[in-house]
Structure 1
Amino acid sequence: MLHLRGLSCRLIERTYPQRWIEHYNANGYALRDPIIGWCIEHVGTIRWSNPDLPDPYGIMERAAGFGLPFGASISLGPKDCRSIVSVARADRELEADELETLDNLGRHIHQLLPCELELTVKQREAIECVAAGMRMKQAAAFIGISDSALKIRFRSIREKLSARTNAEAIQRAKDYNLI
């Protein structure tokens, strides 16, 4: 699953075999992946075996070598806020009902991920202090709120940015040009 906002990847969740993920990353396939390219340019569903899918780098053949010979992807949303969901099987092409399930799942996930992402003035103030190097206690004192109020702000920031930690929230806020 990828959720792209502009040129930033807001969410990536992968459950493919770890060996494939490591090989894919080590070889920089994301920028040459024919599925990602197709999904950025189109809305809809495509099977990985589609003969019209250009794959000059042979990435789909390499995926098959890692036990991912059959797959399909769905692309949803406008170009500036696109979600891509892909699934693969080792034994056969996905059937029509499985593609429909993929479509429904993709639409559900896409609706959960807002395309417009903004921090409130208070959230931005809090995250900017910590991003600048202040400890939580210092940031709370600087802003003039309690430690627990700052923790609540950061909880809402993490939720909004789909981050697990404050450090991850700060990095995502920077990546999305929110701070």
Structure 2
Amino acid sequence: MSSRAEISATLARLQKLAPKGYYIGLHIRFAAPIMQFQTYPETWAERYSSNAYALRDPTIAWGFSTTGAVRWSAMPIPDPFGILADAASHGLTYGLTLSCGPIKSRTIASFANGTREFKDDEIETISTMVRRLHDITEPPESLTKAQQEALRCIAEGDRHAAAAAKLGITESAFKARLISARERLMAKTTAEALQRAKDYRLL
């Protein structure tokens, strides 16, 4: 199974375990995750965003302060802005937050249930899946010279034929380099691969 297929399959399983949705921020670096997935109700997602809750969210503060798993009902971080109570008023009554990875590339994920607490075995299952997502989305340490050259040509606005001529290779060989760069960066499109390469400081 390819990494993308495994990610999709894992997210589908997580959705069944978290009926009120989830937020997963993978490899948070320079204050932003390199990949994120969110399935919370739209009304809550909009309220969270419009109130800039991410800056004051106790689940995120907890995720940066430690690793492991905690139910929202046992959250040891103060919540002076009442964010968890506000979440409950939107149907996210019970929740779970997980954190893994080194502080310079931390993954933080939260899951919600409207009717009951998450059970211990569910927490263990979700934790295992989140750690797996963290592992398979680990950014590469480097790109090959050929991959870098191909992405730089695209960044400079070259079309495939012109880029291939510039590099002294066939157009099909140029396209193969772009495909390998996309696969290495786990990107669906060349534009996404280019952005990730920049984000990871690989170009």
Fold match, TM over 0.5?
yes
Greater than 6 Å deviation, 4+ residue runs:
none
The CA RMSD measured in Å over matched residues stands at 1.8
Task: Please report how far the alpha carbon of residue 178 of structure 1 lies from its aligned counterpart in structure 2 after TM superposition.
Answer: 1.8
- The match for 1:33 is 57
The alignment status of 1:132 with 2:160, answered yes or no, reads no
Task: Please report how far the alpha carbon of residue 171 of structure 1 lies from its aligned counterpart in structure 2 after TM superposition.
Answer: 1.7
- What is the letter of the counterpart of residue 80 of structure 1? K
The alignment status of 1:75 with 2:99, answered yes or no, reads yes
Q: Which moved more, 1:114-123 or 1:32-41?
A: 114-123
* Structure 2 residues not aligned, in runs of 5+: 1-23
Alignment equivalent of 2:70, drawn from 30, 46, 52: 46
Write the deviation string for residues 122-175 of structure 1: whole angstroms up to 9, x where unpaired: 111111111121122221221122222222222222222232211122122222
- The match for 1:3 is 26
- What is the letter of the counterpart of residue 158 of structure 1? R
For residues 51 and 111 of structure 1, do their structure 2 counterparts lie closer, same or farther at Cα, with a shift above 3 Å needed? closer
CA distance in 2, matches of 1:136, 1:85: 39
Task: Please report how far the alpha carbon of residue 103 of structure 1 lies from its aligned counterpart in structure 2 after TM superposition.
Answer: 1.2
CA distance in 1, matches of 2:43, 2:187: 25
* Structure 1 residues not aligned, in runs of 5+: none
- The match for 2:13 is none
For residues 124 and 101 of structure 1, do their structure 2 counterparts lie closer, same or farther at Cα, with a shift above 3 Å needed? same
For residues 80 and 149 of structure 1, do their structure 2 counterparts lie closer, same or farther at Cα, with a shift above 3 Å needed? same
- The correspondence of residues 11-160 of structure 1 with structure 2, limited to 5 A, is 11-160=35-184
TM-score (norm 2): 0.80
Query: Conserved in 1, the CA contact under 8 Å of 2:139 and 2:185?
Result: no
Query: Conserved in 1, the CA contact under 8 Å of 2:140 and 2:185?
Result: no
Task: Please report how far the alpha carbon of residue 5 of structure 1 lies from its aligned counterpart in structure 2 after TM superposition.
Answer: 4.6
For residues 133 and 64 of structure 1, do their structure 2 counterparts lie closer, same or farther at Cα, with a shift above 3 Å needed? same
Which protein has the bigger helix share?
2
Write the deviation string for residues 84-116 of structure 1: whole angstroms up to 9, x where unpaired: 232110001111111111111112212212255
TM-score (norm 1): 0.90
Sequence identity of aligned pairs in percent?
A: 44
Query: Conserved in 2, the CA contact under 8 Å of 1:163 and 1:169?
Result: yes
Q: Which moved more, 1:94-103 or 1:75-84?
A: 75-84
Task: Please report how far the alpha carbon of residue 13 of structure 1 lies from its aligned counterpart in structure 2 after TM superposition.
Answer: 0.9
Aligned residues: 179
CA distance in 2, matches of 1:138, 1:65: 56
- The match for 1:173 is 197
SS across alignment from 2:77: coil
SS across alignment from 1:109: helix
- What is the letter of the counterpart of residue 48 of structure 1? W
CA distance in 1, matches of 2:149, 2:74: 49
